[in-house]
Structure 1
Amino acid sequence: MVYFQTDYLQVEHHHTGNVLITQWYGGCSSLQYRQALINVIRIARELQVHCVVLDRRLLKPVSEDDLHWTCTIYAKAYAKLPLKKLAVIHSFDNETERQQQQLNAHIGTYIETRSFDDLTSAYDWVISVPV
């Protein structure tokens, strides 16, 4: 079921496995980026998801201010969710991938995190062992 959809992001919930999938379709403004991530937190909290797949292949790099916000404010809120597994799909953009690695360093201390090249492998991993 799709919970949130824009030109740049779709968030869907797969009831089987209680998995949240976020798929970025490109860049967006700073305000849109932050509001989208706040919506992801709200949806994950509301659904009490234990597994998330972040498909960031098409996401463009964010500003340094947005990266700092993501690694501090967002990461702290993310850590308070009941998440057990986070699968991240590598970005096609090298700078976006570098930024994701920074975020993983903050989030990975709270949640089991792995990186993948495709959505199928990422999804299979998060549902492979019940949490």
Structure 2
Amino acid sequence: MTGKAKSLAQKTREAREAHDLLMARAIALYQQEQQKPVHEKRKGLRTILNHNTLRNLANGGRSKADFNATKAWLTQAEEKNIVGIVKEYGEWGFPVTHRRLKELVDEVCRTRLGDKFLGPPLGIKTGWCSQSYFK
């Protein structure tokens, strides 16, 4: 069955998720290997992975994707909620414009953050949806 071609952003996102999964597995194996007694031979880090990144993550550091997720306007649950609303409007035959999407996101952010949500002037910037989640 044929499907819709994936956007470059989607391909990049999937590659990053696969990379993060492999890094998590490598960290677990590395930590397991380091638990061996000193007199046993330990395997070192392979050159396939960046050894500094692997070491930092093994010592409890955060990945770049995790850090950037903390800076996002919406949580993952809120993102799914917004996407559900957009799909529902589409099923009704009312396509959501960028302006309406911005209003929905501003409303969600103001509900969660209250007075702390200042954002760019008057909420999130207008080009937000074209450069983040909705590619």
TM-score, scaled relative to structure 1: 0.23
- Looking at both structures, which has the greater relative contact order when contacts are Cα pairs under 8 Å and sequence separation is at least 6? 1
TM-score, scaled relative to structure 2: 0.22
Structure with the higher helix share, 1 or 2: 2
Structure with the higher strand share, 1 or 2: 1
